[in-house]
Chains A and B, each alone.
Chain A
Amino acid sequence: MRWIEAALALGLFAGMGQAPRSLQSGPPQAATLPTSPQNPVPPALPAPTMQPVQPRFVVVLDAAHGGSDPGAKLGDAVPEKDITLQLAGRLRSMLRARGIDVTMIRQGDVTMAPLDRAEAVNHAQAAACLVIHATATGSGVHLFTSSLAPAARAQFLPWQTAQAAYVTQSLKLESELDTALAHAEVPVTLGRASVEPMDSMACPEVAVELAPLVAGHVTTAKPITDMGYETSVVNAIAAALESWRSDWKQS
């Protein structure tokens, strides 16, 4: 048995004596190429400098509902899922025209569980997440952020309350959207809400709920399907996200 122990010990020490290749210092060519007159040593290449990886500015658009979940019935029995998908599609085009990368969580009329949505959103590591909804109640655009209390960001976030670490940023994003919609003369209401899967999303996020325009002092009544109204909302949101990108780059 002693010879087995000795062999194992030798093997172990032999392995320990060599540093892993990735940890060896100096250019790798000098260590691997044999030096002979037929194969001269090439001139040493300058060590590559490590470029810091710039995170991409990605916006996630989550068109709520879809498939077997139609959402609210709007206007002439138009399901909410169609309006949200149409709005998200138009917003995607507008953002891409401004050079902003967009990830759509739902591309067509498919059913998606809240858990799958949150997983897809978190995978995108987005700088802004907009959850698009629509309702027949109220007037203008309703902006909602999570009702969770703000919490410090940690390496691991609890799934059910991941948004708590981003609530402060979400409120800033909401403020950006509010300002842009004010410029577009669209009535806005702000609120906090508990809607799945918003609390599980690890990004600055706002739920944007489009409602018809009710006639007021400065607004005329417009249905939710009015293209002009929808365009003004989409333009305002795109402008807000462009402004958010500038802030994001500076920070």
Chain B
Amino acid sequence: MISQVQKFLFAVLLLACVAMAAFLLRLRNRAQDRLQAQSAMAPAEMTESAGNPVKTVALYVPNDLDDSLTAVEASVPMPADESAQARVLLQKLIDAFGAPSSTHPIQVAAGIDDVYFLPLTREKGATGPAGQLAVVDLSGALAAAEPSGIEPETLTLESMLATLHANLPTITEVHFLVDGQQRETLAGHADLTRTYLASDTMTQSQPAETGIGTGAGR
């Protein structure tokens, strides 16, 4: 025989299960709506950027011949949102890769799918601001067009790190994804499993002439 108490308890648990299922479904639908709204807004943001205030930014353009990064100034309409700014900056840098006189030629129309910001927790004893982690979601097209090799792949990543660091100093760390997924390497060499420090590049503002021996580059 099942006692009255057990019957009551079973009924309460069943009700709780139904209520939780309904709540989860509602949350899922909300998240789906939010994502759809964001993706619908993204192209609009990019096209509306023409109406945004024009800012002078520094793009760090790589040179394959001497393994250097060169600061090039550009005037870009910048949106107010920081993650949109990062996306505009990186896309502008990738556009420079495809220019006819490029010293790091990569032909790709859309190189950045998205940039997300995550706040970092401040370490014990640290005084300055904690900074942010930028998750840069590269497009599969960029990874496919990237020339394979330690030097070209490292230069691509370092030019992005230097450009972000110079224009958005709140970014302290950067993690790269490809098509929203974690990948082992960019094109067979440069490690994408690790998180890079944004300040972890030594840049030079003058292009160096290719030297014989004696180590040109960084």
Binding site for B on A (CB under 8 A): 65, 69, 71-73, 80, 133-140, 142-144, 147, 175, 178-179, 181-183, 185-196, 207, 209, 211, 214, 216, 218-219
Q: List 8 A-B contacts (CB under 8 A).
A: A80-B148, A135-B150, A137-B149, A140-B210, A175-B215, A196-B184, A209-B151, A214-B65
Q: Which residues of A contact B216 (CB under 8 A)?
A: 187-190
Given known A-B contacts A178-B214, A179-B213, A189-B215, A137 and B64 have beta carbons under 8 A apart: yes
**Contact A135/B65 with A188-B214, A194-B190 known, Cβ cut-off 8 Å:** no
Q: Does B212 contact A (CB under 8 A)?
A: yes
Q: Does the CB pair B147–A142 fall under 8 Å?
A: no
B122 at the interface (CB under 8 A from A): no
- Contact check, B212 vs A219: say whether CB atoms are below 8 A apart: yes
In addition to A138-B149, A142-B217, 8 A-B residue pairs with Cβ atoms within 8 Å of each other are A135-B150, A136-B149, A182-B214, A188-B214, A189-B151, A194-B191, A214-B65, A218-B212
Could you tell me which residues of chain B, from 150 to 175, have a CB within 8 Å of some CB in chain A?
150-152, 154
Residues of A within 8 A of B152 (CB): 135, 137-138
Cross-chain contact B210 with A187 (CB below 8 angstroms): yes
Residues of B within 8 A of A195 (CB): 150, 189-191
Residues of B within 8 A of A219 (CB): 212
A71 in contact with B148 (CB, 8 Å): yes
Give complex CA distance A192, B187 in Å.
17
Q: Chain B residues in contact with chain A, CB under 8 A?
A: 64-67, 147-152, 154, 184-185, 187-191, 193-194, 196, 200, 210-218
CB distance from B92 to the nearest CB of A (A): 22
CB neighbours of B154 from chain A (8 A) = 144, 191, 193-194
Is the CB–CB distance between B218 and A190 below 8 Å?
Answer: yes
Nearest CB on A from B101, distance (A): 16
Query: Which are the 9 A-B pairs with shortest beta-carbon distances?
Result: A182-B213, A135-B149, A72-B148, A190-B215, A189-B67, A189-B217, A137-B152, A194-B191, A138-B64
Assuming the contacts A71-B148, A189-B151, asked whether A178 and B215 have C-beta atoms less than 8 A apart, the reply is: yes
Q: Which of A136, A175, A187, A193 contacts B147 (CB 8 A)?
A: A136
Task: Report the separation of the CA atoms of residues A73 and B144 in the bound assembly, to the nearest whole angstrom.
Answer: 13
Q: A188-B213, A189-B217, A214-B210 are in contact. Are A65 and B184 (CB under 8 A)?
A: no
Distance of A29 from chain B, by nearest CB (Å): 60
**A191-B210 contact given A72-B148, A138-B151, A211-B151, CB 8 Å threshold:** no
CB distance from B161 to the nearest CB of A (A): 11
Report the bound CA distance from A189 to B147 in whole Å.
Answer: 17
Identify which of B66, B151, B154 gathers the most chain A CB atoms within 10 Å of its CB: B151
Q: Please determine whether A194 and B194 come into contact, CB atoms closer than 8 angstroms.
A: yes
Given the interface contacts A71-B188, A72-B188, A138-B64, does A193 sit within 8 Å of B211 by beta carbon?
no
Indicate if the CB atoms of B217 and A190 lie closer than 8 Å.
yes
- Bound-state Cα–Cα, A188 to B215, Å: 5
Residues of B within 8 A of A69 (CB): 188
Closest to A133 in B: B150
A77 to chain B, nearest CB (A): 13
By a CB distance below 8 angstroms, the chain B residues around A214 are 65, 210
Residue of A nearest to B208 (CB): A189
Selected from A139, A142, A179, A186, the residue in CB contact (under 8 A) with B150 is: A142
B187 to chain A: closest residue by CB:
A72
**In the assembled complex, how far is the CB of residue A240 from the closest CB belonging to chain B, in whole angstroms?**
11
What are the residues of chain B within 8 A of A192 when measuring CB–CB?
218
Known: A142-B67, A194-B191, A196-B191. A135 touches B148 (CB 8 A): yes
CA distance A133 to B214 in the complex (A): 20
Closest CB in chain B relative to A136 CB, distance in Å: 7
